[in-house]
Chain A
Amino acid sequence: MRDADEQWPSDAELLRRHVAGDDQAFGELFCRHRDRLWAVALRTICDPEEAADALQDAMVSAFRRAADFRGESAVTTWLHRIVVNAALDRLRRRATRPAPSAGDEQAFEALAGSAGDPAHTTDIRLDVDAALRILPPQQRAALVVVDMLGFSVADAAVILGISPGTVKSRCARARARLLPHVSHLRGNRSASESVSPAQGGDT
């Protein structure tokens, strides 16, 4: 089944072909990961239009800078890093503008597309998306990369350009901050209710 490797080249091979002048390799590579890259952009930015802008910035940047890829990390890690950077750049640039209001959710949902999702899954997703908006962008990016996309702390550190310890602390703070906003989404309602009142003493 050796010939199949030729038919299904690795990410690194596609990137190599792209650098060598193959005009289709980059499209194939990006396509392979487009939904995850979209997810990280969308969830970091919380706005589909801006997420599409960021993803486009990132794609063009990756296309042009492919020769800089040295293979210290996986190609996917490298791609995610470029996308996260583009997303955080966009957020910095619009920092003076107000965050999108909750009223945008219908447009958001229309753009994000929920075809095929059971209704309750969509509800949970919308609730989680809304909760994520309360986080500072850096914390949100860390949480998205680690908890939602499942990258290891080490890979997340490369993607976010921070130390593993900082990844952990950003994720920890983000989870703590998110907790009161998402505990109702978990089956165990009584546990959250018994805990929440006591939290008032800490703040």
Chain B
Amino acid sequence: MRGQTTHPDTDVLAEFHAGLATGRRGAMIAAHLAGCDRCSALRDELAGVSALLAAVPAQAMPDRAAQRLDTALAAEVARRIDSKRARGDSPRHRGTAGRPARNRGWRLVSVRVLAPAAAVVLAAAGYGLSQLPHRSGNLASPSSGVARAAKSAGSADAPALTPSSGVAARAEPERMSPASFPFWTSHTNFLPGTLKQQVEAALRVAESAGATQAAPAAVKACVRHVAGSANPLMVESARYQGQAATIIVMRASKGEVALVAGAGCSASHGKPLVTTTVP
């Protein structure tokens, strides 16, 4: 077949695949690919490199690095406060309801100090899905009762519902700090109209029953992406409008807020779909 003896090299195929070979040159490569199994296999391999790279899980920031950033950030904040004082300005603290912010000892990165209230995040959990199909929320789920989280795997790093978010969960060294939160699985189907009430109920159940399962890595990754690095009060694998979802509850200074993240939630993708406060 024509052109078979002059196979484009890998670079050329990669450029073609990236959309860089246009016009006559592009047409020639396309024509060659159409008739050459070897080169079209190579082109597929090149496409596979991108797919492989995209599939490599993101690594969470190690505690050691987060602590360094905290220190640096605290120093920056202190520096700024000092320079404002020197100019006679009084620092403003939006969102902290008049509570004076301290300028020392913060752990803003490794443990976020949340200005707002406890947050509840609902993250659609069909991790492989690219979008959430809208089958209406009719669920033949017999029980919206919550699995009791009977298995207490790794109870050591389930710090339970401690009153303050300003305290770091004592994670083991070298592990990602955010890995610790109470986790459980339920069949609850959260619905837009009743989200607040359902979240409240779930919190009550979690507090009384204890949620001590080990969260799957995919859930942890999603939590980190959507919620930043605060340690959630509770994470629940459930459903939202009939689709697999993860509910993430975080405590802060006043009230609570719920967010519903989009499908395909992972370490790097997925924005909250819906947010709501919980009284």
Residues in A lying within 8 Å of B, measured CB to CB: 1, 3-9, 17, 20-28, 30-36, 38-39, 42, 48, 51-52, 55-56, 59-60, 63-64, 110-118, 121, 124-125, 128, 143, 147-150, 165, 168-169, 171-173, 175-176, 178-179, 182-183, 185-186, 188, 191-192, 194-195, 198-199, 201-203
Interchain residue pairs A-B with the least CB separation, the first 3: A27-B108, A4-B275, A7-B257
Chain A residues, Cβ within 8 Å of B217: 116-118
Dominant secondary structure at the A interface: helix
| Per-residue contact bits, chain B 1-42, to A (CB 8 Å; 1 contact, 0 not) | 000000101110111011110000000000000000010011
Q: Is the CB of A7 within 8 A of B119?
A: yes
Given contacts A178-B49, A186-B48, contact A169 B60 (CB under 8 A): no
Q: Is the CB of A169 within 8 A of B18?
A: yes
Given contacts A23-B81, A24-B93, A111-B62, contact A147 B49 (CB under 8 A): yes
Q: Is the CB of A30 within 8 A of B109?
A: yes
Q: Is the CB of B80 within 8 A of A23?
A: yes
Chain A residues, Cβ within 8 Å of B252: 7
Q: Is the CB of A149 within 8 A of B268?
A: yes
Q: Which residue of A lies closest to B217 (CB)?
A: A116
Q: Is there a chain A Cβ closer than 8 Å to B65's Cβ?
A: yes
Q: Which residue of B lies closest to A51 (CB)?
A: B65
Q: Is there a chain A Cβ closer than 8 Å to B269's Cβ?
A: yes
A35 and B258 CA atoms in complex are apart in Å by: 22
Number of A-B contacts (CB under 8 A): 246
Closest chain-B Cβ to A40's Cβ sits at a distance in Å of 10
A179 and B50 CA atoms in complex are apart in Å by: 10
Q: Is there a chain A Cβ closer than 8 Å to B132's Cβ?
A: no
A39 and B276 CA atoms in complex are apart in Å by: 30
Q: Is the CB of B228 within 8 A of A32?
A: yes
Q: Is the CB of B49 within 8 A of A179?
A: yes
Q: Is the CB of A191 within 8 A of B69?
A: no
A127 and B213 CA atoms in complex are apart in Å by: 31
Q: Is there a chain A Cβ closer than 8 Å to B267's Cβ?
A: yes
Given contacts A31-B112, A176-B11, contact A7 B255 (CB under 8 A): yes
Q: Is the CB of A7 within 8 A of B117?
A: yes
Chain A residues, Cβ within 8 Å of B93: 21-24
Q: Which residue of B lies closest to A38 (CB)?
A: B61
Q: Is there a chain A Cβ closer than 8 Å to B175's Cβ?
A: yes
Pairs across A and B, CB under 8 Å, 7 listed: A8-B119, A27-B112, A39-B268, A51-B65, A59-B69, A60-B76, A191-B45
Tell me the count of chain B residues lying within 8 A, CB to CB, of chain A: 87
Q: Is the CB of A179 within 8 A of B10?
A: yes
Chain B residues, Cβ within 8 Å of A26: 73, 76-77, 108
Chain A residues, Cβ within 8 Å of B216: 116
Chain A residues, Cβ within 8 Å of B9: 199, 202-203
Q: Is there a chain A Cβ closer than 8 Å to B168's Cβ?
A: no
Q: Which of B62, B217, B258 has the most CB of A within 10 A?
A: B62
Chain B residues, Cβ within 8 Å of A128: 52-53, 56
Q: Is there a chain A Cβ closer than 8 Å to B152's Cβ?
A: no
Q: Is the CB of B72 within 8 A of A4?
A: no
- Of residues 64 to 112 in B, which have CB atoms within 8 Å of A's CB atoms? 64-66, 68-69, 72-73, 76-77, 80-81, 84, 89, 91-96, 101, 103, 106, 108-109, 112
The one of A17, A28, A148, A168 in contact with B228, judged by C-beta atoms closer than 8 angstroms, is: A28
Chain A residues, Cβ within 8 Å of B113: 24, 27-28
Closest chain-A Cβ to B198's Cβ sits at a distance in Å of 14
Q: Which residue of A lies closest to B21 (CB)?
A: A172
Chain B residues, Cβ within 8 Å of A183: 45, 48
The one of B11, B66, B68 in contact with A172, judged by C-beta atoms closer than 8 angstroms, is: B11
Closest chain-A Cβ to B21's Cβ sits at a distance in Å of 10
Q: Is the CB of B94 within 8 A of A125?
A: no
Q: Is the CB of B42 within 8 A of A150?
A: no
Q: Is the CB of B80 within 8 A of A113?
A: no
| Per-residue contact bits, chain B 210-246, to A (CB 8 Å; 1 contact, 0 not) | 0000001100100011001110000000000000000
Q: Is the CB of A7 within 8 A of B275?
A: yes
Closest chain-A Cβ to B30's Cβ sits at a distance in Å of 16
Q: Is there a chain A Cβ closer than 8 Å to B207's Cβ?
A: no
Q: Which of A23, A39, A128 has the most CB of B within 10 A?
A: A23
Q: Is the CB of A148 within 8 A of B54?
A: yes
Given contacts A27-B109, A110-B174, A112-B62, contact A56 B72 (CB under 8 A): yes
Q: Is the CB of B49 within 8 A of A182?
A: yes
Q: Is the CB of A125 within 8 A of B117?
A: no
